[in-house]
Structure 1
């Protein structure tokens, strides 16, 4: 079933996107999403590589995972304190 999923951006990813969130077309593999984001926002791949990713609040690493319509994805870059 085609539709959209929501992606949430935090910290450094908001610098590249200029957004807190956006909707992308589903279904899409996690790895494809990363490639699409790099095309849309050149340089974001470096931030994403060091980030955690969740799909529906579950941490994921499998680039073959299929994101479905209605899912919520969050990219959470590392945060430093000082």
Structure 2
């Protein structure tokens, strides 16, 4: 179980190669954050993570799988998903077994 994020933040959990890339299992990020800005925010912190990990990963918010839209593909009139204070976001890269 992960600890509760500090006030005004959400936790992001990094699994498999995402954890290897960031050298972290969990970190707190400021909330609220529009879901469409998540990958850009992570790319600013960890240059190259988008192409190496994020573009091939699944994402959950509070254990519910979500599709992460690009900033450019956000459509007018679509309801925007916003990550809220206290939420738990998980980055789940593909895992291969041998």
What TM-score do the two structures reach when normalised by structure 2? 0.78
* Number of the residue aligned with 1:58: 64
What 5-or-longer segments of structure 2 have no aligned partner? 1-6, 70-79
Q: Distance in 1 between matches of 2:68 and 2:94?
A: 19
* Number of the residue aligned with 2:30: 25
Q: Distance in 1 between matches of 2:26 and 2:36?
A: 18
Please list every run of at least 4 consecutive aligned residues from structure 1 whose deviation after the TM superposition is greater than 2 angstroms. Answer: none
What is the aligned length?
81
SS of equivalent to 1:37:
helix
RMSD: 1.3
What 5-or-longer segments of structure 1 have no aligned partner? none
Q: Identify, as 1 or 2, the structure richer in strand.
A: 1
- Select the structure of larger CA radius of gyration: 2
What TM-score do the two structures reach when normalised by structure 1? 0.92
